Amino acid sequence: MPSIALNHLYTFIALTIVSVLLVSSYSSYANTLQTIPEIEQLKNMLDHVAAKGNELLTLVITTTSKAHTLVQLPPTIGNREYWIRICNDTSNVWIEGALGQLDESGQEYKIFLPGKASTSGYYVGGYGPAMLECYMNGSVPQLNLSPAGGLRGL
């Protein structure tokens, strides 16, 4: 009789392990299904900010004036935080962003802008609208990204 009880115990343990594996795989699959639209929303938001930045750069370069615009962005994407940063090197200007916090090293997405400019700034979701500001710094356009904060009336 003791061997039958042990067989039942082993069967129970094996079924428990299989159940845990099935539940975790379904949970992972559900998270993947949720992440795909969040990434798509982030990419659309980066496209929107890049389009506004390109508009400002074109306006400032052609008129040699100063311009800024407020870009309404959601506080979160799904239930996740996100960040957007504007960067440049010697030949390219791009806007990049990712889900999560700014200091995490996750998958980043980049949208390149045409032309050359000097850039600075970042925006973390949840801090109201973002402000894009552009002006000529000598012969080079300067494009800045920052949280607008209390500047809603501009």
pLDDT tens-digit readout, 63-104: 988 999 999 999 999 888 999 999 999 889 999 999 888 776
pLDDT greater than 60 at residue 17: yes
Residue 12 domain flag: no
Q: What is the pLDDT of residues 133-154, one digit of tens each?
A: 999 988 899 999 999 875 544 4
Q: Identify the bridge partners of residue 115 per DSSP, sorted by sequence position.
A: none
What's the structural domain count of the chain? 1
In this structure, the number of other CB atoms found within 10 A of the CB of residue 103 comes to: 6
Residue 8 domain flag: no
Residue 65 domain flag: yes
Looking at per-residue pLDDT, the higher value among 128 and 67 belongs to 67
Amino acid at the residue 78: G
State which H helix or E strand residue 97 sits in. Answer: strand 93-99
Verdict on whether the full-model pTM lies above 0.85: no
**Rounded Cα gap, residues 39 and 126, in angstroms:** 17
Residue 137's domain comprises 37-147
Residue 28 domain flag: no
Residue 3 domain flag: no
Residue 141 domain flag: yes
Between strands 118-124 and 140-147, the pairing is parallel
Residue 1 domain flag: no
Residue 7 domain flag: no
SS3 65: coil
